[in-house]
Amino acid sequence: MDPLSLIPSPDALPVSYGWLKALLLSTFTLHIVFMNIMVGSCIVALFSGQGKYDAANTPSVQNDLTGKLTFIVAFTINLGVAPLLFLQVLYGNFFYTSSVLMASYWLSVIPLLIIAYYSVYISKMKFQSPGPRWRFLMWLTTAIFLIIGFLFSSNMTMMLRPDTWSAYFSAPGGTILNLGDKTLWPRYLHFMTASIAAGGLFSAFLGNQRLKKGLAGNDKRIAAGMKWFTHATMLQLVIGTWFLMSLPSHISRQFIGGNTTATILFTLGFAAAIVAIFFGYKKKVRLSSVMFLITVILMVLMRDLLRTAFLKPYISLSDIPVTNDYLPMFIFIISLVIGIGVMVYMLRLTATAVKKQQNM
């Protein structure tokens, strides 16, 4: 069956696609950073043995990370809403289709997320020190997050492959995963390994904050965190290469000379990872964090080029009609600016209040 005949026709965009793309990529970057920290924190917490890296009189790595996880999960979800929205506007005809094809799995994300989220809260509220029950809940949470990640990878790759969609006709019950796609596993592992790196870095970052406050004994913890970070990032070089090789050759070629932008981004991304490993090895938490963020931004941009390349035979965003209704977008931007202003003000009030209390 001709894949073109299956692709739903897109609806008109309210504003030029450039705006929507910019919003998609910027909000996705935020989401993916939080997601990386969320998944990574779970893994790092699980594998950081009780007291192994902890200084006296400070919360254990486990408690510390689970304490933060409730917030991180909340922001991961919230910051995921925006890119999911813009994705639907730009690529809804691909995304909805692949979602329907894997509908049973896709909808299961919601109950799974609720279970994981409550399990994080329970681990935080009920267990002062990590015991077997804490361990069970964290394993559960981690497993769920890994499953959800896999489902997202499956959906995000399947939406790029209309040539595989005709599988629907023999399985219309929403039970198709993109398992036949060579890029699925390396892509998924690429994201999850990045999460491990981010988890280690985040743990080190928390330790570093304490260190700056003059709390002694966080060195071991920082060292352990940075080890997670550097090792995972090194592994990432292997997985990244696997991912690159798994791409159809006409696409992978773009990143190694075939397309200038793609090649520059790829080179910069590769270099950024190397620099990050270097800083990680040197235990420079802040610099590593900056390099991590730069790498993420470059990877998000490359991911977008990859999507464009995959969808090239089927759609060009510039061909979608535009209704040019800009006023709602300005209202959104104004709401965003005012909203962020209020949020910053609230956070400053909090910081001042907390500082005041600590000084008392």
Partner 1 sequence: MNYPVWDLSTFGGGFWIAFIAVIHVYVAHFAVGGGFFLVITEMWAAREDSSEILAYVKKHTQFFLLLSVVFGAVTGVGIWFTISLLSPAGTSSLIHTFVFAFATEWVFFLGEIIAIFIYYYTFDKMAPKQHQFIGWCYVGFGWLSLFTINGIVSFMLTPGDWLTTHNFWDAFFNPTFSPALFFRTFMALMLAGLFGFVTSVYIKGKPLRDKMLKYCAVWLILPMILLVLSAFWYAAALPEAQTEMMFSLSPEIMPFLKLFTWLTPVIMLTAIFLAIRFFPVSLKKVTAFCLIIMGLLYMGSFEWMREAARKPYIIFGYTFSNSINTADLEAVTKTGILKSARWVSHKEITPENQMTAGQEIFRLMCSPCHSVGGPINDILPVTKKYPVFAMDAMINGMGKIDTYMPIFPGTKIEREALAAYIVKGLHDRPDEKTPPEPNTLVAEKIPPFNADKDEYILLAWNNTGMQTISDSDPFWSIQPPGNTIYAQLIRRGELPELVTDDVIIEYSAPPEFAFPARHVSFWSYAESLFGKTPQLDTGLTGNGLKGEMAPHPSENAFIAEMVPVVPYPENAVYNPYPVFTVTAREADSGDILATAKTVVPVSTEMGCRNCHNGNWRIDDRTGIGAVTSSDILAVHDEKTGTTLLEQAENGSPKACKSCHTPDDPKILNLSASIHGFHANYLAGMGDAACHTCHPSSPDGATRSFRGFHNSMDFSCSSCHGRMEDHALALLINEKKTGKERAETLLKYLSPKAVKKISEINPRKPWVNEPDCLHCHINFEMPDTDEVEINSRTTSESGLFRNRTDDAGIMCAACHGITHAVYPAENPFSSNRDVLQPMQYQGNAYPIGANKNCRLCHTIDMEDEMHHPNTLTMFRNTY
Q: Pull the structure tokens for residue 292.
A: 């991590």
CB contact set of 139 (below 8 Å; sequence gap of 6+): 46
Distance CA 208, CA 180 (A): 43
| Interface mask toward partner 1 for 22-41; x: CB under 8 A | -x------------------
Q: Pull the structure tokens for residue 163.
A: 């040539």
Q: Pull the structure tokens for residue 311.
A: 């969808």
Positive or negative, the CA dihedral 171, 172, 173, 175 is positive
Among 16, 50, 113, 308, binds partner 1 (CB under 8 A): 113
Nearer CB in complex with partner 1: 62/93: 93
Query: H/E/C letters for each residue in 182-227?
Result: CCHHHHHHHHHHHHHHHHHHHHHHHHHHHHHCCCCCCHHHHHHHHH
Nearest to 297 by CA among 158, 183, 194: 194
Contact between 140 and partner 1 per CB under 8 A: no
Tell me which stretch binds partner 1 (CB under 8 A): 97-105, 266-274, 277-285, 292-300. 97-105
Which residue shows structure tokens 């920082």? Answer: 222
Contact between 331 and partner 1 per CB under 8 A: yes
Distance CA 258, CA 250 (A): 9
Nearer CB in complex with partner 1: 71/136: 71
Tell me which stretch binds partner 1 (CB under 8 A): 6-14, 180-188, 194-202, 241-249. 6-14
Tell me 166's DSSP state. Answer: G
- Read off the amino acid at residue 314: Y
Rounded to 10°, the helix 17-47/184-212 angle is 70
| Interface mask toward partner 1 for 184-223; x: CB under 8 A | ----------------------------------------
Which residue shows structure tokens 């500082």? Answer: 355
Among 174, 268, 281, 301, binds partner 1 (CB under 8 A): 174
Distance CA 129, CA 287 (A): 32
CB contact set of 234 (below 8 Å; sequence gap of 6+): 277
Q: Pull the structure tokens for residue 277.
A: 């490993």
Tell me which stretch binds partner 1 (CB under 8 A): 44-52, 225-233, 248-256, 326-334. 326-334
| Interface mask toward partner 1 for 57-96; x: CB under 8 A | --------------x--xx-xxxxxx-xxx-xx--xx-xx
Q: Pull the structure tokens for residue 290.
A: 């900056």
| Interface mask toward partner 1 for 222-261; x: CB under 8 A | ----------------------------------------
Task: Report the nearest approach of partner 1 to the CB of residue 96 (Å).
Answer: 4
| Interface mask toward partner 1 for 275-314; x: CB under 8 A | ----------------------------------------
Distance CA 129, CA 53 (A): 15
Residues near partner 1 (CB under 8 A) are 1, 5-9, 11-14, 20, 23, 71, 74-75, 77-82, 84-86, 88-89, 92-93, 95-97, 99-101, 103, 106-107, 109-110, 113-114, 117-118, 121, 165, 168-169, 172-174, 323, 325, 327-329, 331-332, 335-336, 339-340, 342-343, 346-347, 349-350, 353-354, 357
